[in-house]
Amino acid sequence: MAAWDLTVTVEDLGPDAPPLQISVASDLHIGGVILKLVEQTNLKKDWSDHALWWEQKQQWLLRTGWTLDKCGVHADARLVFTPQHKPLRLGLPNGATLKMRACFSSSAFRTVMGICRVLSKKHLLLPMMKNKDSSEELYDLTDVPLTAGSVQALYNGMPAHFADSPKTEAVYKMLSVSLPSSAPEAIAKLYRPASVVDKTHIHTRWLDSSRSLMQQGIQENDKLWLRFKYYTFHDMDPKYDAVRLTQLYEQARWAILLEDIDCTEEEMMLFGALQYHIGKLSLSQDMVSSCQGMDDLESALKSLEVKMVGDSNSTDMLESMTAPELNDYLKIFRPKRLTLKGYKQYWCKFQDTSISYYKSKEDRYGEPIQQLNLKGCEVAPDVNVAGQKFCIKLLIPAPEGMNEIYLRCENEKQYSQWMAACKLASKGLTLLDISYQSEVKNIQTFLSMQRSNSAAPAAQTDDSINTHSLVSPRYQKKYKPKQLTPRILEAYQNVAQLSLTSAILKFLQIWQALPDFGISYFMVRFKGSRKDEVLGIANNRLIRIDLGIGDVVKTWRYNNMRQWNVNWDIRQVAIEFDGNINIAFSCVNADCKVVHEYIGGYIFMSTRSRQQSDTLNEELFHKLTGGHEAL
Amino acid sequence: MDDIDAMFSDMLQEMDLLTQSLGAEEESAPLPKPPSIPDPQQMNFSIGFTDFNASLHDLEDNDLDALMADLVADISATEEKFATEQDTLKGSAPVAPIPSQPQDNFSLPASTDTSRHATSSNSIAAPPPPPASKPSKEELEEQIKADKIKLALEKLKEAKVKKLVVKVEIMDGSSKTLMVDERQTVRDVIDNLFEKTHCDCNVDWCVCETNPDLQTERGFEDHENLVEPLSTWTRDTENKVLFQEKKDKYDVFRNPQNFYLWKKDKKSLKDMKEKDKEQLLEENFCGASVIVPDLEGVLYLKEDGKKSWKQRYFLLRASGLYYSPKGKTKASRDLVCLVQFDNVNVYYCKEYRIKYKAPTDHCFILKHPQIQKESQYIKYLCCDDEWTMTLWVTGIRIAKYGKQLYDNYKAAVRKAAGSATWANRSLQASSSASTPSPTPKARAANGHAPQPAVETKGSSNQTSFPPPPPSMETLPPPPPDPMMPPPPPAPPSATKVNKFPPPPQFPQSSFPPPPMDDLPPPPPPPEDSELPPDFLPPPPPIFSSCGGEALPPPPPDPIASLPPPPPAPQNFASAGGAPPPPAPPPPPPAPAPAANKPAGSIRKVAPPPPKRTTPQLAAPSGGDLMSELMTAMQKKRTQ
């Protein structure tokens, strides 16, 4: 057979080196080509990761047993001899960027699995892929400017344990502990989708999971975003998956801060309070791994406490029967129509869940002027640290309605004690409750935060958090920090007792309960329609949205779906539902492969939820997401 | 000891009141109302509740009797305990009934838990004797003293448990009265009522409260505690507790599509496949967070303090009820929060067209449970039609209670299904029971209500009222089948009709049969044998009163019935020993406190019955009380 010259560029020779010419015959197999090539370079090194990339055809020649003829390679082919694993920069949900080695030659699906395996390797002693898997996908970032707040963490890595060096440990910490919130100004500068149309643009950029990174034009050192793509989260167990939980939280947090998902003011305040709480707890945690250890310890302590109560001898019990009290002079004010009376000072006694007040300390053994049972009441702070105003607003339910009463305290210390007591009493707990001390402390911390805010808004220390950084720019504009802080404080009181993981889980829960949660938008044109519309894809349904008014026109549920397919010639997705309902649409700004893969992916996830195995059925995934496209 | 005395005197007082009111009742109403007792088939119960004394007056005779029976049991139990304590604590002064002590608890509208702690004390009472009497008393004396203090403290705690006597109205206008412990959930109460009413026990049965002032009605959720909301009623309230079937209680779980796919046309929803329904439930209730139906639409809102109703576009979210202000979009950011659900409940309203000039009669309100009268703090809403109202009220319940609602439903379904199996099971169990119950059916009945049986009078009752047994059969006892088989030897005599606290559940769990084998019954018997005679007499009279004509003269009864009690105590005593494991707090040294604990921790009022069975009651001091009681009863009967 006639020999001919094959042109191959060897990257390792340097960018300026001319391509090598090797003499081959058409029946030479790829392995032979590589052998010849390596001999010709005269370089001693490990070539095992290298493979041939056919530039014009955008494909890898990975089957070393195939002949050139079989691969269709002729003299005009320009091949590149290059490593299959290359460094890649990954934008994580928390805004940090991670540099790591990824496989450019296998399908994106496998590559992502490989990456996830690395990220949670140390922690996941169970099978690595454990559902980190397909819920994360790569974002092609080429046209996305990534701005402030990204920690450049280097992790050059073959799969290795994070504990290898302080540096890798730091990486792990970055992954598994939520990062402090960025400055409000930075948040405001980040890109925010202003409309549904904007949101459709984001989703045009998902990579095709059946093709390799190289095939999709990703170059060495390019930056991709790593995100949870499918909003179906199975068994979130914080014990095994701190990284996953944290990153999920970060993704949720940024979705809310950047108004990617809409929420109401009340919800935003609660999100803000939770962020504050999570941030505070994360800071105080020196060791990453302690996060689950802490929870265990906490529960162990709790049960220990219970035991001790049980074991206490009778005298102790006697003592504990007489509950502690708070006694002090406070100013009380009861707003009533047509009265101009202001605050008046009384001697107040807090016992069990009630406040009794007397004219003076000397009268305390007599009948109180009034006794207020706080069980079931609403407690709201009315505080201005700068103005030294420490009021507790109580709304005490009575048969006729609610009684409004203000208690005015002298100082922070008094306020935090009485406030904590009121808070507990409203839940039916007494001063005896173990949470009392921590409640007092929480209130004090929050007050100090407000102090630093109002005193020196310009000079932020690391400890104090600007409440503006806890809400989205819309609310930054709407409220001044001074107005915002009390509202977040109010919401904070309901979550202050949560542990770190339960706070994160709570945040995720509220996020998932939002009406628009988990909907990915695509601009499409339905068959027979003359205008562009938006198709929302959620984990259980498809939603047709009218662009003009933004209303949901129709929803179809997956479990009514008979079949779906893609006509690759006219790039149209066709779906058939029960009852002979057929819809077909083409995608306006995304590749219809992306849409097809999204729907298939959700159906894949729903099959998974039933079998609950740790390994992914890759074949099934590709079958469901790949369509009948010839690869 | 003082504590005990005080408590005891409290109890005495209560008894006084009871007997007084009994007397009063007598005059006005002739006792013979046997039909209600023997005829447990009445399906409907209505309940009204007031404070203890008042309620007593309203009660039907049979209710009274039942209440009495309970109280007697409790008291006798305490007495017995007293007695045993006295024995052990030889040094202590005579405990005899000391009515002179002041009692504050008493004034509470809710009768304080006399029965409760009594019961607990009872279980305690049995165990202590062994250690004290057998080993050298001197050594153990100290220990015993300490135990007793602990015991007293426990009892103090117990004493804090609030109890209410609740009259539950049933649809046909009849009513049942029962005592509800503050630790009991609505589910427990419903189970109770199932037993008393012999209804079909389906999942739709619901305990509701009505408020005539506000013209509202709300079904309590199964996981709620009943006592808490009831204690917020005003003293002069005309609120009522109803027991009725409410189709909308769990409709969302039977037909989730009507709520979650409410936008789709009704026809396509009607014949939805079960599999699809399940999936809907799975999606919305089994995820990390419960998904609230995406309700939205125009409702009328009564403006604060005004008479006018304004149309607004409302949206339901997990975080609360919102409306979109005029001229704004429905986007989340523009929504105004009308109310969040943490502190309010949702109530159906009646006839608001007349009362508040509402556009339609399909109204619901959101208010703090303690608000009982018209107030600016109540949110009044009005819907176009009934279905819309159901949709919103159910949606709000889901938002407020979340997964708990689904858990309640599943538990209710399990119960309903279990009732059938239960019947079979109890039959088998009962057949093994040795007591001389007249008919196999009666035994079956006993099977599920073992403890109460202990009462000697019970046996007499049965003979006199043949009807009860059959009814019991039909009655699917609430005790879930998961529970262990009915306590074997339990004296079958008890007519459950009398007892209101359906003890079945409790005893089963707390007194597992196995322990009986381990624990040597010996200790209790001696005491028992002596005591029974004293104790027994009183009960019969009570029953006789309720039984009416049919009852043979009381005196003979005790004798005849005597035999049964002894065995019972043994069981209980031994069983009492077993429970300790569950009870975490009390230190091991004294078995008595341990036994006490479990009793206290359980929710059911039920426990009392078993205890009372113990013949130890005979306590010397008991004599006075009992005789007092006896005379009261006698008086009643003669009248």
For chain A, give every domain's residue range. 4-83, 326-431, 520-626
Percentage of residues of chain A with pLDDT beyond 90:
10
Contacts B157 to A, Cβ<8 Å: 321
At residue B321, the pLDDT reads 96
Chain A closest-CA separation from residue B429 CA (Å): 37
Confidence at residue B435, expressed as pLDDT on a 0 to 100 scale = 38
Fold of A4-83: Ubiquitin-like (UB roll) (3.10.20)
Shortest Cα distance from A275 to chain B (angstroms)?
A: 17
Of A392-401, B175-184, B487-496, the poorest mean pLDDT is in: B487-496
Q: Quote the pLDDT of residue B182.
A: 84
Question: Higher pLDDT residue, B523 or B71?
Answer: B71
Q: d(Cα A169, Cα B424) in Å, to the nearest integer?
A: 63
A509·B317 Cβ contact <8 A = no
Question: Is a pLDDT exceeding 50 seen at residue B169?
Answer: yes
CA distance, residue A99 to nearest chain B CA (Å): 32
Evaluated on CA atoms A176, A180, A181, A186, the torsion sign reads negative
In this predicted structure, the answer to whether residue A359 has a pLDDT above a threshold of 90 is: no
Most distant CA pair in chain B: distance in Å? Answer: 88
- Predicted confidence at residue A1, as pLDDT, reads 65
Q: What ranges in A332-398 are assigned the alpha helix state H?
A: none
- CATH number assigned to the domain covering A520-626: 2.30.29.30
The percent of residues above 90 in pLDDT, for chain B, comes to 21
Model pTM? Answer: 0.68
Calculate the average pLDDT of chain A: 76
CB contacts, 8 Å: A550 with chain B: 329, 331
Cβ of residue A309 closer than 8 Å to a chain B Cβ: yes
B171: confidence class by pLDDT, cuts 50, 70, 90: confident
Lowest mean pLDDT among A56-70, A510-524, B613-627: B613-627
A99 strand-pairing partners = A89, A154
Q: Which residues of A touch B371 (CB under 8 A)?
A: 397-402
Q: Is the pLDDT of residue B385 over 80?
A: yes
Q: What is the DSSP letter of B233?
A: S
pLDDT at res. B455: 37
pLDDT confidence of A318, banded at 50, 70, 90? very low
Strands (E), B482-568: none
Q: What percentage of residues in chain A have a pLDDT greater than 70? A: 77
> Two tokens at B507?
């005893």
Angle at CA B305, nearest 5°, toward B301 and B308? 45
B395-433 residue pLDDT tens: 999 999 999 999 999 999 988 887 755 554 544 444 443
Please check the confidence at residue A225 and state whether its pLDDT lies above 50. yes
Which of 119-148 (B) contact A at CB < 8 A?
Answer: 146
Mutual orientation of helices B186-197 and B403-432 as an angle, nearest 10°? 40
- Indicate yes or no: CB of B288 within 8 angstroms of CB of A510: no
> What is the per-residue pLDDT for B19?
53
pLDDT given at position A627: 61
Mean pLDDT of A520-547: 90
Q: How far apart are CA A423 and CA A439, in angstroms?
A: 9
The tens digit of pLDDT for each residue in A320-358 reads: 455 578 888 888 888 776 666 678 889 998 888 888 889
**Residue B295 pLDDT > 90:** yes
Q: Over 60: is that where the pLDDT of A425 sits?
A: yes
Q: Are A587 and A595 in contact (CB under 8 A)?
A: yes
Question: What residues does B45 pair with on adjacent strands?
Answer: B243
- Contact predicate A57/A80, CB 8 Å: no
Å from A223 to nearest chain B CA? 32
pLDDT, residue B106, reads 35
Asked whether the beta carbons of residue A264 and residue B332 sit closer than 8 angstroms, the reply is yes
If you write DSSP's letter for every residue of A269-323 in order, what string do you get? Answer: HHHHHHHHHHHHHHHT---TTHHHHHHHHHHHHHHHHHHHHHH--HHHHHHHHS-
Q: Which range is most confident: A495-499, B2-6, B204-208, B459-463?
A: B204-208
The reply to whether A386 touches chain B by the CB within 8 Å rule is no
Do A399 and B373 make contact, defined as CB atoms within 8 angstroms?
A: yes
Give B171→chain A minimum CA distance, Å. 27
Q: How confident is the model at residue B391 (pLDDT cuts 50, 70, 90)?
A: very high
**B247 contacts chain A (CB < 8 A):** no
> pLDDT-based confidence at A457, cuts 50/70/90?
very low
Amino acid A56: pLDDT: 87
Lowest mean pLDDT among A568-572, B347-351, B599-603: B599-603
Residue B368 neighbours by CB under 8 Å, 6+ apart: A376, A397, A402, B343, B344, B345, B377
Please give the pLDDT value at position B318: 93
Contact yes or no for A401 and B337 at CB 8 A: no
Q: Partners of A328 in the beta sheet?
A: A348
Length of chain A: 631
Taking contacts as CB-CB distances below 8 angstroms, the residues of chain B near A508 are: 288-289
Q: Give B264→chain A minimum CA distance, Å.
A: 9
Give residues with Cβ within 8 angstroms of B20, minimum separation 6: none
pLDDT at A630: 38
**Cα separation, A311 vs A308, whole angstroms:** 5
Query: Are the CB atoms for B414 and B480 separated by under 8 Å?
Result: yes
The Cα B236–Cα B233 span in angstroms is 8
Q: Does A474 touch chain B (CB under 8 A)?
A: yes
B417/B46 Cα distance (integer angstroms): 25
**Which residue did the predictor score with more confidence, B277 or A244?**
B277
Q: How confident is the model at residue B348 (pLDDT cuts 50, 70, 90)?
A: very high
Interface contact B276-A559, CB threshold 8 A: yes
Determine contact: A236 vs chain B, CB below 8 A. Answer: yes
Is some CB atom of chain B closer than 8 A to the CB atom of A406?
Answer: no
How much is the ipTM here? 0.79
> What is the model's pLDDT at position B383?
95
- CA dist., res. B208 & res. B220, Å (int): 6
- Of all residues in chain A, the one with the smallest CA distance to B261 is A555
Domains A4-83 and A326-431 share a fold: no
pLDDT, one tens digit per residue, over B554-591 is 444 433 444 444 443 444 434 334 444 443 444 444 44
Q: For residue B70, what pLDDT is reported?
A: 58
Please give the pLDDT value at position A51: 92
CA A180 to chain centre: 14
Which comes out higher in pLDDT, residue A433 or A541? A541
pLDDT recorded at residue B2: 53
Dist CA A415 CA B287 (whole Å): 40
* pLDDT tens, position by position, A92-122: 777 777 777 888 888 888 887 777 777 653 3
Binary contact (A376, B156; C-beta < 8 A): no
The CATH number of A326-431, from 2.60.120.380, 1.10.10.10, 3.40.50.300, 2.30.29.30, is: 2.30.29.30
According to the model, what pLDDT value does residue B630 have? Answer: 60
Strand arrangement, sheet containing A344-351: A370-373, A354-358, A344-351, A325-333, A401-409, A389-398, A378-384
pLDDT at residue A274, rounded to an integer? 94
Give the tens place of pLDDT for each residue, B64-101. Answer: 566 565 555 555 655 555 555 555 444 444 444 444 44
3-state DSSP assignment of residue A133: coil
